Amino acid sequence: MGRDAFAERYHQLAEWPLTVAAGLFLAAYAWPVLQPTMTAGTRHLCTVATATIWVMFAGDYLLRLALSRRRARYMGTHIVDLFVLVLPLLRPLRVLRVVTALTRLNRSAETSLRRHAMVYVVGGVGLLGFTAAVAVLDVERGQPGANIKTFGDAAWWAITTITTVGYGDRYSITSAGRLTGVGLMLGGIALLGVVTAALAAWFVEHIARDERGEADLREQVAELAAEVRALRTELGRREAGG
C-alpha cells in the first residue's frame, strides 16, 4: 500500500475513534471539576484517562504530520493542535482538542451541516460553552478574589462571553482563565462564521437551482412554441392544397 493510500485509509478509520476519544477526554476532564468531592481513586483514574487520551492525540498528530507531503503547511493549518500538545502543562488548553474533534466531525458531514444548520449551532455552541465553562472553573475556583466559584457562575460567564454581551459580573482573574476566555471568543466567532458560510452556500445553490429551473422552463416553452408554429404551417399547407 502506497503512502497516500495508507494516509487516506488512516484518516477514514481514525475519524470516529478520535471523536469518541475526544468525548471521553471531556468527560474525564470535567467530572473531577464538577464533583470536587470525589474520591482520590476516582480522581486518579480520570487523570490517567486524560493523560492516556492526550498521548493518543499526540500520536495522531505526529502520524498525520509524518504522512503529510507538505509538513510545514500542515503545521500551519493545525496550529491549535500543535499549541495544545506543546503546552500540556496549561491544563485548560488540553480540552480545546475536543473543539478540533468537533471541527473534524463537521468537515465529514458538510452536507448535513447545510441541511441542519440550527442543530449544528445549538450543538456546537453548547459544546464550546460547556468546555470553556469547565476549563475556567477549574483554574478560577479557589483563587484569592475569584468570583467564578460554581459551575453556574462559569456557565453564566461562558454565555455572556460567547454572545459578546459581557455584563462583567463574572470574569476571570487568572492568566489561564483569561486565555480560556480568548479561546472562547475566537471559537465562537469561528463557529458562527462556519454557519454563516454554510447558509450562504445553501442560498447560492438554491438560487442557482431556481435559475436553472427557469432557464429549462423557458427552453421548453420555446420548443413548444416552435412546435405550434410548425403545426400551424403544416395545417396551412394542407388547407391551401385542399
110-160 confidence digits (pLDDT tens): 445 555 656 666 677 788 888 889 888 988 888 898 899 999 999 999 988
pLDDT band of 162, cuts 50, 70, 90: confident
Domain assignment of residue 104, yes or no: no
pLDDT at 164: 76
Number of structural domains the chain divides into = 1
d(CA 90, CA 182): 14
d(CA 83, CA 78): 9
pTM for the model stands at 0.66
Domain assignment of residue 64, yes or no: yes
Domain assignment of residue 51, yes or no: yes
- pLDDT of 1 strictly over 90: no
Cα 206–211–213 angle (5° rounding)?
95
Domain assignment of residue 58, yes or no: yes
Domain assignment of residue 55, yes or no: yes
d(CA 17, CA 215): 47
Residues written for the chain: 242
pLDDT at 111: 47
Domain assignment of residue 200, yes or no: no
Domain assignment of residue 83, yes or no: yes
pLDDT at 42: 94
Domain interval for residue 38: 1-89
d(CA 221, CA 215): 10
Domain assignment of residue 203, yes or no: no
pLDDT band of 45, cuts 50, 70, 90: very high
Q: What is the mean pLDDT of the chain?
A: 77
d(CA 204, CA 235): 46
- pLDDT of 102 strictly over 70: no
Q: Can you read off the three cell numbers belonging to residue 10?
A: 488512516
| pLDDT tens for each residue of 64-76 | 888 888 888 888 8
The mean pLDDT of 191-218, rounded to a whole number, is: 72
